[in-house]
Amino acid sequence: MKTLFIARQTNLFEQFANPQFKISEDYQIIDQVLENEEIILELSKDFPDVSTGRNRTPTEQILRFLILKHQRGLSYRDLERTLKVNLEDRWFCKIAENAPCFKTIQNQLVCINEKTIKAINNRVMREAIKLKLTRGKKMRVDSTVTEANIHYPADAGLIADSIRVITKNLAKFKIIPKGYRNFKRKIKQQLNIIRTIGRRNKEAREQAVRKIIKMGKTVARKIKQTKKRVIKKHRKILEKIIEQGEQALAGEKIQDRIVSIFEPTARPIPKGKASKKCEFGQEVQIQEDEHFITNWQINNKTSDKKFFPQALKKHKRIFQKPPNETATDRGYWSLKNNKIAKKEIKHVSIPKKGKLNKQEKEYQSTPKFKQLQRWRAGGEAKISLLKRKYRLGQCRYRGNDGMARWIGGGILACNLMTMARLLSS
């Protein structure tokens, strides 16, 4: 049975055995924000409205589990553990008696989608505007990559993964075709050759990859008549990986490369870092005002230029006006974006790509342009905070929905902590 709200109850231990127990100011402020009924009603849309059966975990508690999990960077098991022993966390999540087990928490949080988290964040932003914590005078946009939780995506290893998963599913459904082989030992031998001799000998490495591709083709041919949806899906992925492996051996450029059989939407994204030339996951566009992250967007491919007009529209929707100042890096520059920005915004700081003429050099040398570029660099600090504290560096959930929930939960927790910090100061 669906339940929305829960009253906070103080147990005997908190009341008598531990009278010195105090709640931090940050938790008290966030608690007041989350008491908003509109936020709870927004989240309740993701849960079925059932009038029979036992009572579900209250929606209000589910939201607090999400915030606490991402604010502290906890796993589901760690969240269950802290809800059993930490009085402050129990108070925040309104737990009076037994804490739910990690599986119950997981089943509830899986239902939350990106659209709902964005709607809740919009309501938090409205509250921040009402409290005059932000006025929307500035806007900056930057992008980063949230990596998928995968191993390094070599084609030979991906073929081996595909065959292993297909074999496991065939055994599960008891539909192993006549004459089917999983080539477990032979694949292992060829992978060992790639890891040892293949590092120094290109010819030996390519020969081993060709043998693994041949085994992959044999497996794909044997399961062609199988009608189970899961096996069909993995066969298509296997065929795509075989195709891209052959293209790599032929020295051809590969379009839309698959980097994981478990995360087919993850893509290789070159960001030009010294430590990591290429990251495997999804690009995230981050939009900020003076203090808060007002919007974000997840993409498979880089699309900085396309995101800027959307960011400007979103800013006007939230604050009912365009910003006075905006700053981005040169990745967002285009003739169209520059015209749109200068038409609506007083001070624009978007460095131009390519050679500058005399007028452009003078404009980019002005104190205001340089000042806004220094402010834009602060966006790197916010992205670093999201990755260090709120774990946006690598997603631990699976699939597109998991990626959206991981990023949205981290950003929502970050905004609430920013609000608490501003109000307490």
Least confident of 43-47, 107-111, 269-273, 352-356: 269-273
What pLDDT, on the 0 to 100 scale, is given for residue 301? 64
- What's the mean pLDDT in 75-86? 93
Q: How much helix, strand and coil, in percent to the nearest 5, is found in the chain? A: 55, 10, 35
- What's the mean pLDDT in 346-352? 94
- What's the mean pLDDT in 365-373? 95
Closest Cα to residue 84, out of 55, 28, 93? 93
| C-alpha–C-alpha distance, residues 231 and 225, integer Å | 10
Which tokens in the block code for residue 86? 């930490």
Residue 389 has pLDDT above 90, yes or no: yes
What pLDDT, on the 0 to 100 scale, is given for residue 54? 65
| C-alpha–C-alpha distance, residues 402 and 399, integer Å | 5
The radius of gyration of the chain's CA atoms, rounded to the nearest angstrom, is: 26
More confident residue, 211 or 23: 211
Closest Cα to residue 80, out of 106, 109, 108? 106
| pLDDT tens figures, 318-333 | 999 999 999 999 999 9
What pLDDT, on the 0 to 100 scale, is given for residue 250? 92
What pLDDT, on the 0 to 100 scale, is given for residue 297? 94
Burial of 343 (0-12, 13-18, 19+ CB in 10 A): exposed
Closest Cα to residue 329, out of 137, 141, 136, 139? 141
Residue 126 has pLDDT above 70, yes or no: yes
More confident residue, 48 or 206: 206
Which tokens in the block code for residue 215? 């085994």
Closest Cα to residue 418, out of 68, 124, 75, 141? 124
pTM (predicted TM-score)? 0.91
| C-alpha–C-alpha distance, residues 325 and 55, integer Å | 50
What pLDDT, on the 0 to 100 scale, is given for residue 6? 76
What pLDDT, on the 0 to 100 scale, is given for residue 386? 96
Residue 354 has pLDDT above 90, yes or no: no
- What's the mean pLDDT in 262-270? 88
Least confident of 75-84, 153-162, 262-271, 320-329: 262-271
- What's the mean pLDDT in 14-34? 79
Full set of structural domains in the chain with CATH = 12-109 (no CATH), 114-150+266-424 (3.30.420), 155-249 (no CATH)
| pLDDT tens figures, 277-297 | 889 999 999 999 999 999 999
- What's the mean pLDDT in 30-44? 91
Which tokens in the block code for residue 31? 């608690």
Residue 365 has pLDDT above 70, yes or no: yes
- Tell me which H or E stretch contains 245: helix 229-249
Q: Tally Cβ neighbours within 10 Å of residue 131.
A: 12
Residue 15 has pLDDT above 70, yes or no: no
